[in-house]
Amino acid sequence: MRAKGWRELIREDFWPPPFCPGCGHGILMGAIMRAIVQTGLDPSRVALVAGIGCAGWIPTYIACDTLHTPHGRAIPHAAGIALTRPDLRVIVIGGDGDLSSIGGNHLIHAARRDLPLTVLCANNAIYGMTGGQTSPTTPPGERTATAPRGVGERPFDLCALVAGAGAGFVARGTVVRPQALEGLLGKALGHPGFSFVEVLTPCPTQVGRRKGLSPVDHLRTLGERTVPLARWRTLPSEERAARIPVGILRGGDEEGSWT
């Protein structure tokens, strides 16, 4: 039976979630609940699968069947569910470290296989829970606990990575624009094969504090840096480089190059 409102999706006996004040994961959690309601899915036919990391806690507080797995391993567990139970909608939720570092191999193979999964990656470009270490998406030059003199490696563009591996639906949103994010999640849930949504989100505790950004300023900067894909395409190339396009990047009307 479909849920009437997102509050039905709160796993009340586990509430409240443990996110730091100003963390984007609460907003993402709300967007997931609303997207499940809006797409008319029966919450008891939704399987949520997570790995380890702050974002991996999100499904714990949503009242669907939830598998909270070892670090990096959400996707292969989800594969076991999705392959045997086409009647269930399987959603993977994890952070950038979980899904693209330790779980990176699983991510590209799931995209290549076109497994019927929706993978949501809360990308805050840092390891939050373990104390602010460099992740595969930390921008060059940023100072982290493991790069005190600044990161010297190139980051992944996660959307380009999974698109390159064959993902049929790829989108990027931010927690700064929760309604737009909800829309993207809804579209991803409606995609029959492998769908991927990168969700840009702040980690005020491990990034904001280090940079001296208040949670509000942190969100504001993220908002300023991101531009809808259609507008991003019209920007001069210097400006494009400084901005991040958001929206449906593959599998929608505006499909085309964004890198």
Partner 1 sequence: MDERVLIQGNEAVARGAIHAGCRFFAGYPITPSSEIMHCMARTLPEVGGVFFQAEDEIAALAACVGASWAGFKSMTATSGPGFSLMQEEIGYAVMTETPVVIVDVGRAGPSTGQATKPAQGDYLQARFGSHGDYELVVLSAWSVEEAYRETVRAFNIAEELRCPVVLLLDEAVGHLREDAALVPLPVTERRKGPLGGRYFGPTPEGVAPMPPFGSGARLHVTGSTHDPTGRRMTQDPRVQGELVAWLSEKVLGRREELFRYEAWDVDDAELVLVSWGISARAARAAQLQLRQQGYPVGLFRPITLWPLAPAVLTEVLGDREVLVVEMNRGQLAHELSAMLGPERIRTLTVTDGRVISPGRVAEAALAALEGRG
Q: Which residues in this chain contact partner 1 in the complex, by CB under 8 A?
A: 11, 13-14, 43-45, 47, 49, 60, 63-70, 73, 75-81, 83-85, 87-88, 105-106, 109
Strand pairing partners for 74? Answer: none
Smallest distance, ligand SF4 to C-beta of residue 142, A: 15
Task: Using the minimum distance from each CB to partner 1, give the nearer residue, 67 or 99.
Answer: 67
Task: Using the minimum distance from each CB to partner 1, give the nearer residue, 63 or 167.
Answer: 63
Task: Using the minimum distance from each CB to ligand SF4, give the nearer residue, 109 or 143.
Answer: 143
Q: Which of 122, 124, 144, 119 is nearest to 134 (CA)?
A: 144
User: Which residue in the set 69, 135, 195, 206 belongs to the binding site for ligand SF4 (CB under 6 A)?
Assistant: 206
Residues in the interface with ligand SF4 (CB under 6 A) total 12
Smallest distance, ligand SF4 to C-beta of residue 55, A: 7
Integer CA distances (angstroms), 235 to 198, 200, 227, 232, 239, in order? 22, 21, 10, 5, 6
When CB distances are held under 5 to 8 angstroms depending on the partner's kind, the choice from ligand SF4, partner 1, none that residue 206 binds is ligand SF4
HSE at residue 253, side-chain half, CA atoms within 13 A, is: 1
Distance separating alpha carbons of residues 94 and 178, to the nearest angstrom: 18
For 177, phi and psi rounded to 5 degrees? -120, 80
When CB distances are held under 5 to 8 angstroms depending on the partner's kind, the choice from ligand SF4, partner 1, none that residue 45 binds is partner 1
Check the CA dihedral 122-172-91-28 and report its sign: positive
User: Which residue in the set 3, 6, 9, 19 belongs to the binding site for ligand SF4 (CB under 6 A)?
Assistant: 19
Task: Using the minimum distance from each CB to ligand SF4, give the nearer residue, 66 or 201.
Answer: 201
CB 93 within 8 A of CB 67: no
Query: What would the x/- binding string for ligand SF4 be over residues 174 to 203, using CB under 6 A?
Result: -----------------------------x
DSSP letters for 69-122: -STT-HHHHHHHHHHH-TTSEEEEEEEHIIIIIITHHHHHHHHHHT-SEEEEEE
Task: Using the minimum distance from each CB to partner 1, give the nearer residue, 106 or 172.
Answer: 106
Q: What are the helix (H) ranges across 191-246?
A: 209-211, 215-225, 229-234, 237-242
Distance separating alpha carbons of residues 206 and 101, to the nearest angstrom: 18
User: Which residue in the set 51, 97, 103, 128 belongs to the binding site for ligand SF4 (CB under 6 A)?
Assistant: 128
Point out which residues bind ligand SF4 (CB under 6 A): 19-20, 23, 25, 54, 124, 128-129, 203-206
